Structure 1
Amino acid sequence: MKKGTRSSSREGGKRTFYQKKICRFCADKIENIDYKDVKTLKNLLTDRGKIIPSRISGNCSSHQRKVTTAIKRARYIALFPYTFA
């Protein structure tokens, strides 16, 4: 077995490499995420009302924590429902 390769049960499978996503808040140099900014936060929710994880949205860890807090605050004051049934 070559160095740096892994053996797997599937043979001849192609590996997919994902391009590193850039945090949209870091790119725009946004420090604070406002819970009243419904338009921005709506893009970070699924159609069921779940918060999209950072590995999919591309947010860095610090901004993902701020997004989560902002969405929970917006839910608390009824800007967002807890679920989209």
Structure 2
Amino acid sequence: MTKKFKFKEKTRCRFCRSKIAWIDYKDVHTLQKLCTNQGKIFSRKRSGNCAKHQRMVKRAIKRARIMALLPYL
């Protein structure tokens, strides 16, 4: 009996799928999805972002914290 292996498709970043070029710090609803309840930023592995968009998310969240749109830890 042979086992059939199925190749799992590589999951793409949600921002790459939507072809979003820039992540806005004023889009609080999207940024809250990428943070825990305590305000910590999810890792790339957990959020599923590519490296480029993870850096943009990090910058956007930090800017939103400075502008008091998101809470600090």
TM-score relative to the length of structure 2: 0.84
Larger radius of gyration: 1
Stretches of structure 1 that go unaligned for 5 or more consecutive residues are: 1-17
Aligned length: 66
Aligned pairs for 1:1-85 within 5 A:
20-83=10-73
- Identical counterparts, % of pairs: 58
Which of the pair has the greater relative contact order for Cα pairs under 8 Å at 6+ separation? 2
Tell me what 1:11 maps to.
none
3-state DSSP of counterpart to 1:51? coil
- Residues 34-68 of structure 1 show CA distances to partners (whole Å, capped at 9, x for unaligned) of 00000110000011110000111110000000000
Give the C-alpha shift of residue 20 in structure 1.
3.9
TM-score relative to the length of structure 1: 0.73
CA RMSD of aligned residues (A): 1.4
Tell me how far apart the structure 2 counterparts of residues 19 and 47 of structure 1 sit (CA, whole Å). Answer: 30
**Aligned structure 1 segments of 4 or more residues deviating by more than 2 angstroms:** 18-21
